[in-house]
Every structure is written in C-alpha cells, then in structure tokens.
Amino acid sequence: MSFLDLAAERFSVRSFSDREVEQEKIDLILKAAQLAPTAVNYQPQRIYVLKSEAAMNKINRLCRCIYGAPMVFLICSDERRTWKSQTERGYSTGEMDCSIVCTHMMLEAWEQGLGSVWVRLFDVNAVAKAFDIPEYIKPICLLPVGYASNDCVPYAPGMTCIGPSRTLRRNCK
Ligand SMILES: Cc1cc2nc3c(=O)[nH]c(=O)nc-3n(C[C@H](O)[C@H](O)[C@H](O)COP(=O)(O)O)c2cc1C
C-alpha cells in the first residue's frame, strides 16, 4: 500500500475485539517508534508496553479512552535526554519527538492490520504514580492497539466519541 493510501485509509479505532496482538507485531510497532526522527536524534522516547491483566486494569481505571483494547503503549519522554533550547527557557522537544514517534507507531499498526487511537485524555500525574514512573520520565500519550471489532467504522459526526464510561463502545455501527 502506498503511504498516501495508508494515511487516507487509517482511522481511529474505538471498538476492539478481544484478540491478542501477536508479539511480532508489537515488535514491528516498536521498531517503527525507534526509526522516528527526534531532535538531534537524541531518541528520548520511553515506551511502556501495557498488556498484563494488572496493567490493563490500572490503565482502564485511569483512562476512559481505552475502548476495550487488549494492550496499550504508554509513550513517554525522558526529560534528561530531550533537546533543550538555549534561548527559550524551559523549552524541550520531548512532546514533539514523542508525537512523531506515536505517529510512526499508529501508521505501522495499521500496516499490520491493527487499529489504534491516540489518547491524551488522562491525568499524567496519576498515570505516572500508578506505574511508578520516575519524575524525569513524562507521560505524553497513550496508544491503545488491537484488532478492530467487526462492527467498527470511522467516526462520523453524531457518534459518541468520548464518554463518561469506559464500557461504552465507540465507532460502532
Ligand atoms: C494529540 C491527540 C490527542 C487525542 N486524544 C484523544 C483522546 O483522548 N481520546 C480519543 O478518543 N481520541 C483522541 N484523539 C483522536 C482524534 O480524535 C482523531 O485522531 C481525530 O478525530 C481524527 O480522526 P481519525 O484519527 O479517525 O482520522 C487524539 C488525537 C490526537 C492527535
């Protein structure tokens, strides 16, 4: 598939089947993350792979946008390694770097026949605490990944996208 076809075809999946994601596919998605360009190629991304029952219970409790995915990538920036501006006090490229990383991962997931959805609706501090993440590692976004359920369709105006209960199914016919 050409890049433009893939980019046009991909959509955010918010309704997943129970099927587990194969380790080879997880590895390919992580490879895509590693190949992403980052400022000065510092590669500050730190990616937690959440798929144990305990980890999934925790993230489902903390975020209502997991949508029944069987696994989640938690993409973080190691602030000790990000590029820091000499002229703009306090500015680092961590969030920008991780956004490129997450984009690579999302597109590679689609290439592997997997759906995903970029998620920022969560409390960074609560997630860091729950997963014992040190203060210099900053959670940037979540990427729930899995096989789309059979009735999953792209979001259209009028459908529920973000709701109060994580048990609600999204993107469903
Ligand atoms: C930075 C960012 C944050 C997002 N946060 C959420 C989120 O918290 N929950 C959610 O369901 N979708 C989230 N999305 C997905 C967007 O709603 C979605 O990508 C957008 O509506 C375009 O739809 P598409 O991905 O189907 O093309 C986010 C996307 C981006 C890029």
Task: Specify the CATH number for the domain of residue 98.
Answer: 3.40.109.10
Tens of pLDDT, residues 104-130 = 999 999 999 999 999 999 999 999 999
pLDDT digits (tens, 9 = 90+) for 42-63: 999 999 999 999 999 999 999 9
Instruction: Name which residue sits closest to atom 5 of ligand 1, judged by CA.
Output: 119
161 inside domain: no
Tell me, letter by letter, the H, E, C secondary structure of the chain.
Answer: CCHHHHHHHCCCCCCECCCCCCHHHHHHHHHHHHCCCCHHHCCCEEEEEECCHHHHHHHHHHCCCCCCCCEEEEEEEECCCCCECCCCCCCECHHHHHHHHHHHHHHHHHHCCCEECCECCCCHHHHHHHCCCCCCEEEEEEEEEECECCCECCCCCCCCCCCCCCCCCCCEC
Domain of residue 58: give its range.
3-146
Q: Give the pLDDT of residue 156.
A: 84
> Does residue 159 form part of some domain?
no
Given a cut of 60, whether residue 41 has pLDDT beyond it is yes
**pLDDT for the residue 173:** 55
* Cβ(159) – ligand 1 distance below 6 Å: no
- Give yes or no for residue 8 CB within 6 A of ligand 1: no
With respect to residue 92, please indicate whether it lies within any of the assigned structural domains.
Answer: yes
Q: Is residue 160 part of a domain?
A: no
Q: What total number of domains does the chain contain?
A: 1
36-40, 85-89, 100-104, 167-171: segment of lowest average pLDDT: 167-171
* Residue 110 domain flag: yes
For residue range 68-107, what is the model confidence (pLDDT) as tens digits? 999 999 999 999 999 999 999 999 999 999 999 999 999 9
Flag whether the pTM goes above 0.85: yes
Kindly give the distance from the C-alpha atom of residue 161 to the centroid of ligand 1, in angstroms, as a whole number: 9
**131 located within any domain:** yes
pLDDT of residue 85: 93
Which residue among 59, 120, 123, 162 has the greatest number of ligand 1 atoms within 8 angstroms of its CB, and so is best to mutate? 120
Q: Is residue 170 part of a domain?
A: no
Q: Is residue 152 included in any domain, yes or no?
A: no
